[in-house]
Amino acid sequence: MIEVELDLMMVRRKMTLTELSEKVGISMTNLSLLKTGKARSIRFSTLDAICDALDCEAGDIIKYVRKKENKQ
């Protein structure tokens, strides 16, 4: 499962959604969808712009987490 930790990185960089939106040139609605994990996809160019604005790596924003198997 892919988890998005954009909100955590924004807190670390002390940046608001509005500021990030202005720096990246992406609507607040689309950033909000990404931040809440409701986005279904992201373009590499968008990810690149976000990483540039937050001075971070893609792996700081997007994480792969293995699903836990139900053992019965």
DSSP string over 6-66: HHHHHHHTT--HHHHHHHHT--HHHHHHHHTT--S---HHHHHHHHHHHT--HHHHEEE-P
pLDDT of residue 8: 94
Which amino acid is located at 20 in the chain?
L
Which amino acid is located at 43 in the chain?
R
pLDDT single digits (tens) 1-43: 899 999 999 999 999 999 999 999 999 999 999 999 899 899 9
Answer whether residue 72 shows pLDDT above 90. no
Domains, in order of start, for the chain: 2-64 (1.10.260.40)
d(CA 61, CA 35): 9
